[in-house]
Amino acid sequence: MKSFAKEFKEFITRGNVMDMAVGIIIGSAFTAIITSLVDDIIMPLISLLFGGLSFEAWNIPLGSGAEPPMLNLGTFIAAVINFILIALVIFIIIRTINNMRKKQEEAAPTTKICPFCKSDDIPLDATRCAHCTSELLAE
Ligand SMILES: [Zn+2]
């Protein structure tokens, strides 16, 4: 039976665990930037459009008294905008990566054209054409 320490060492030295850790660290730093963008730049501009009322003051007190429970609509709207922006940026990143991958696949063909019979489905490492049986140079 494997010892716990050995198993743990195997787990953290696996490549994808390190990739995941880097992703989480970059992701949380990125989330902080988006949160700051929303709270410090976008929401003040929206507040300006609504007559300069701070979005943190957009709330509805439930009941009376010194400290009634509050419906904090402003901070909720900020959180929703936050989410939409993060989802949008992630969509753009994934779309860019997919396009790059697609281009790479198109740029790297897996077949070649036979110089004798012009068949275009010859594997790159084939040394003889399957159609006309001519000898080919492996690439
Ligand atoms: Zn051929």
pLDDT score at 139:
63
Mean pLDDT of 85-91: 88
Packed helices 73-107 and 15-36: angle between N→C axes, nearest 10 degrees:
130
d(CA 134, CA 115): 9
Comparing 127 with 54, the larger pLDDT belongs to 127
Q: Which of 10-14, 38-42, 46-50, 117-121 has the lowest mean pLDDT?
A: 10-14
Which long-range contacts (C-beta less than 8 Å, at least 24 apart) are formed by 24-31?
Answer: 30/86, 30/89, 31/86
* Dist. CA 109 → ligand 1 center (Å): 18
Ion ligand 1 residues within 5 Å by Cβ: 114, 116-117, 129, 131-132, 134
Comparing 5 with 108, the larger pLDDT belongs to 5
